[in-house]
Amino acid sequence: EKGGYPHFMLKEIFEQPRALADCLRGRLNVENSSVQLGGLTDIMDRLEGAERLIIAACGTSWHSGLVGEYLFEHLAKLPVEVEYASEFRYREPLISEDDVMLVISQSGETADTLAALRTARERGALALGICNVVGSTIARDTDAGVYTHAGPEIGVASTKAFTTQVAVLTMMAILLGQKRNTIDSAYAARLIRELNGIPEKIEKILDHSESVKNMAELFTYAPNFLYLGRTYNFPVALEGALKLKEISYIHAEGYPAAEMKHGPIALIDKMMPVVVIAATDHTNDKMISNIEEVKARGGRIIAITGEENSEVIDLAEFNCPIPETEDCLSPLLTAIPLQLLSYYIAVNRGCDVDQPRNLAKSVTVE
Ligand code: F6R
């Protein structure tokens, strides 16, 4: 059932080109530059007129929600707040009928996410969901939603669920941007074409998994890791750190790169691998200074960056070059080497990758 792979996690990492293609199929029309999300048709008017989008989720799904915040602000000019479902439900959130609540959950059964959804609905918000498991409790409890169609995710560490959630958020943000007239039509056409080609680019990254495996050998016994990213790749830094923590039990932290100066820089020495996620965008110069600051303190740089970003590639000690893409689509690619890195490190450490200690696939109790 693992299709020849030693673990479900590795199978699911390698399934991503197919999972993404299934997620995008029938929804993207490259010829006429349009996005169709059948599940949202009935509520589109209300979504279009929303004053604010609140995204609530837990764990990896919360990270995809953070990517969603950048996407909706950029493409649909819609104010967004991203909430930990567990915090949101116990606050006194100010919600009105002009708000839209979007919950994100692979399993569709996470107790806190379900409670956040119900809190928002009780206060009159439109409730939308992005789920993987068809017919799950959250999917049934929302007014409308979009399935990720990633196929069953068995490994406890979420991989293809994350990338397909980000793909759905991207399609939603483009569609909403087109409806709200906040996205330039040539740019929308370019994004749709590029998104359609993402499964192939993921395939290319996976073709180089051996080099990530070799790199993992060198860092198997590192006691700590730091992950740094900016803009769309700040949430990817958080996600990379979470993946490493949960399956290899190595302490790891993800930060927005500029926050490094406000504390974590004190940790950096030659024992400290620093994973820099530097997709080539308008923050590239800033990332380069961050890399120099780490190097000046003896830190070891592993860079996940666009293959044409020679400045970063030359500065880094280790590199995972990825195909170039539009800035806002880069998390779909940068997440992949980070999944592989944590997988290979965990295997080297003899950890039970598919069933990490203390973790359950879906958290149906608080
Ligand atoms: C991380 C992981 C968890 C889940 C979280 C939410 O790899 O698996 O952090 O992402 O428990 O689960 P869902 O998406 O099912 O609501």
This model of the complex carries an ipTM of 0.99
Query: Measured in whole angstroms, how far is the alpha carbon of residue 37 from the centre of its chain?
Result: 20
- List, in order, residues 6 or more apart from 244 with CB less than 8 Å away: 225, 250, 252, 341, 342, 345
Contact in structure between 117 and 138 (CB atoms under 8 Å): yes
244's tokens: 């490493």
200's tokens: 């192939």
Q: What is the structure's pLDDT at 307?
A: 95
DSSP reduced 3-state for 355: coil
Closest CA to ligand 1's atom 9: 59
Helix, strand and coil content of the chain, in percent to the nearest 5, comes to: 50, 15, 30
Largest CA distance in the chain: 56
Ligand 1 in reach of 319 Cβ (< 6 A): no
Ligand 1 in reach of 157 Cβ (< 6 A): yes
What amino acid occupies position 354? D
Q: What is the structure's pLDDT at 357?
A: 79
Task: Answer whether residue 280 shows pLDDT above 80.
Answer: no
Contact in structure between 63 and 208 (CB atoms under 8 Å): no
Q: Could you give the percent of the chain with pLDDT greater than 90?
A: 90
Task: Answer whether residue 281 shows pLDDT above 80.
Answer: no
Which residue among 82, 84, 107 has the greatest number of ligand 1 atoms within 8 angstroms of its CB, and so is best to mutate?
A: 107
202's tokens: 């993921």
What is the per-residue pLDDT across 145-176, written as a single tens digit (0 to 9) for each?
999 999 999 999 999 999 999 999 999 999 99
- Tell the burial category of 347 from Cβ atoms under 10 Å away from its Cβ (0-12, 13-18, 19+): buried
Q: Is 261 designated active site? A: no
Contact in structure between 34 and 192 (CB atoms under 8 Å): yes
What is the per-residue pLDDT across 36-87, written as a single tens digit (0 to 9) for each?
999 999 999 999 999 999 999 999 999 999 999 999 999 999 999 999 999 9
Which residue among 9, 132, 363 has the greatest number of ligand 1 atoms within 8 angstroms of its CB, and so is best to mutate?
A: 363
Q: Which residues pair with residue 151 across a beta bridge? A: none
